[in-house]
Chain A
Amino acid sequence: MSETSKTVKGDESPKTEKADTTEPAAAPVTVAPADDPTGAPVAVVDPRLLVREEGLKGYLTEFKRRVKGGELGSLPVVAGLIIIWTIFQVKNSLFLSAANLSNISYFLAATGMLAIGLVFVLLLGEIDLSVGSVSGLASTVFAVFVVNHGMNQWLALILTIITGIGIGALHGWFFAKIGVPAFVVTLAGFLGWNGLMLWLLGSSGTINIPADSGPVKLLGQSSFFMDQAIIGAYLLAGLGVVLSALGQFNEQRRRRAAGVPFRPTSEIVVRVALLAIASFAAAAVLNNAAGVSNALVIFLASLVIVDFVLRRTTYGRKVFAVGGGIEAARRAGISVPMVRITVFAISGGFAAIGGMFFAGQTASATLNAGGGNTLMLAIAAAVIGGTSLFGGRGSVWSALLGMLVIQSIQTGLDLLNMNTSIQYMITGGVLLGAVVIDSVSRKSQKAAGRG
């Protein structure tokens, strides 16, 4: 299981749910309402609802209609990836080599962790501008614990993550309880936590962290899943495919038993086959280079867990509800301040974890950790991946999809020896482009009655 496999999976997932919703329409049900005095059977399905035609053509027309309606899903990401990969491959034939793709897969994990936290905040329709600074501070706090105080690395890791969670909760408290706009609170955090990091680093400027054991070694550039065993990557790919198949067939069985629309077996087989092709191809490519980096494995595992929390637990439902309508959420008995504070705490926690990934990359805490364009890249990744800036819409897989695009650009520009100045301009342009796509698609969603 690797990034390309996820591309396909994430690409499919929005379709999944929508396909479900049209299912009842495909087989119009008529029932006699229990206590309708007239007793005449009433079609449960609204006759005005467009029905997806059978077969491949049906999917195609459905897809066209959805794009027109502004429900772009993963389309911008896929299109962006194809364009970016083509351009860089033409400019430098090394770009699509196994080594470089493996490189991309390793480096996307760190910023990707920040993007996961940001997805939570964006789902509320808010923004957290402090994640870059908090990640930098986290790597420094960790280094100070380990190097200056001689603390056990794992204990230091836990304390560092708790620090990040605490910082996020503090931002959330100012936002939820005091009523300060989130972007101002986190803008203050952006500067303040960066200042604290510089103060902790003091005059030395850099603290080197011993990378012979512990989390820093685990997240390092030469740390691979199952010590580069060839079977490792295929095990991961197989695990992902089997779990996905089991989950989908289980869902189908339960839905069939409950008498609600379910996905046909043929569709499940096609989806699982696509996932299998993509994930085993990715595994083969990564094996061709050095193997699957542990950083990527941890990132993917986090995505699976967080996706589960957001879609399958009451907490996740609360986050979506607050993002979709504060008043509705409050009337439903949801504690809006609690959701806000915890969401910012989660963002802070993931920022701290991301900071550990950065520390793992260089085995040090440096002055410019989490600075520069880190924040922009994380926000751009979440938005490019399809999480709306306006709240209530999105998925954590957008962190992975967006990071694929962003890291491809970064790696490509590095490969072409572009100056930092050019990199900044391009990153800024990409972020603006992503937000423009988000805004335009929201507009056409409104026009299509889905805003």
Chain B
Amino acid sequence: MPHAPPRLITKRGIPAGQAAKEMVHVSATPVLALRGVSKRFGAVQALTDVELEVHAGEVVALVGDNGAGKSTLVKTIAGVHPIDEGVIEWEGNPVNINKPHDAQGLGVATVYQDLALCDNLDVVGNLFLGRELLHRGVIDEVTMEKRSRELLSTLSIRIPSVRIPIASLSGGQRQVVAIARALIGDPKVVILDEPTAALGVEQTAQVLDLVERLRERNLAVILISHNMADVKAVADTVAVLRLGKNNGFFPVKSTSQEEIIAAITGATDNAVTRRSERRTPEAAK
């Protein structure tokens, strides 16, 4: 069988002209870069020599099968799991990210799949949770409400009212509130873990619109998704992980869905190909 993806190229290996086309809105130095990152959990090598670059104004989709190491990779960036080997570079300078606080300090905002919103607090309370604005030592509800309304309207987020408890919002509305919440701290990199996994058609569209608006605001976005349609719709680059290793970087515009899926599943190395390989010598006899 011929080696399937002809355009299986490393990030640095993108042809110059194509790279220039891809990088129209992309700065030269990546905001965040992972160089040869490895992470072990006991006897399991979760990540091996993983490379990743994200530029400002770029949406990088991180895809891979279950257990490919996507979540582990994201958690190393978010500071949940410190890395064992390799270097994390922030705007070109190596940094240490050992706890979530370090990542937040740099400007990495993570929206986890379970959202983690307080049901009993209203939208304003959730947006500003942990960083309430104070006015003479007292929570400044008025300014917080004003800023919330401004933020939500610039993101074109439609929710009934900013004073409504989270419990009464729908799943899609909660997701956009969670994403908006990540933006309150003016981050430079936003990590979205399966933002559309539990959403309906219209809500998915809303979240994808929101991702595009993040890019317009010149943020770097890392999007984890299993949904190829979503990836094709909003991502600029697809980084594929397979068994804890890089399995290619693809510019989305010039790559077909099948090629990405082939890289995710390792189409050249699967049960069917192995079976046919076994059969060929048998048939020859």
Which residues of A approach B to under 8 Å, CB–CB? 17, 20-22, 24-25, 31, 33-36, 42-46, 48-49, 251, 254-255, 258-260, 311-314, 317, 320-321, 323-325, 327-329, 331-334, 391-393, 445, 449-451
Contact = CB atoms under 8 A, between A and B. Distances in A.
8 contacts: A35-B216, A45-B160, A45-B161, A260-B146, A317-B129, A329-B118, A332-B131, A392-B119
A451 B119 contact: yes
B130 A333 contact: yes
A393 to B, nearest CB: 6
A312 B118 CA distance: 17
Contacts of B197: none
B129 A21 contact: no
B16 to A, nearest CB: 30
Contacts of B146: 258-260
A31 B152 CA distance: 11
Q: Which 5 A-B pairs rank lowest in CB-CB distance, beginning with the nearest?
A: A332-B130, A392-B120, A324-B118, A21-B163, A324-B120
A339 to B, nearest CB: 12
Given A260-B142, A449-B167, 14 more contacts: A22-B161, A24-B163, A44-B149, A45-B158, A45-B161, A313-B138, A321-B118, A321-B125, A328-B126, A332-B129, A333-B101, A333-B130, A392-B119, A393-B120
Contact of A314 (B114, B118, B139): B139
Contact of A43 (B100, B158, B161): B158
B164 interface: yes
B159 interface: yes
Contact of A451 (B129, B132, B158, B167): B167
A312 B142 CA distance: 12
Interface string B112-125: 10111111111001
B227 interface: no
Contacts of A20: 163
A311 B160 CA distance: 23
Given A33-B154, A255-B142, A324-B121, A25 B114 contact: no
Contacts of A312: 138-139
Given A258-B143, A328-B129, A44 B153 contact: yes
Nearest to B212: A37
A254 B142 contact: yes
Contact of B120 (A320, A327, A333): A320
Contacts of B137: 313
Contacts of A24: 161-163
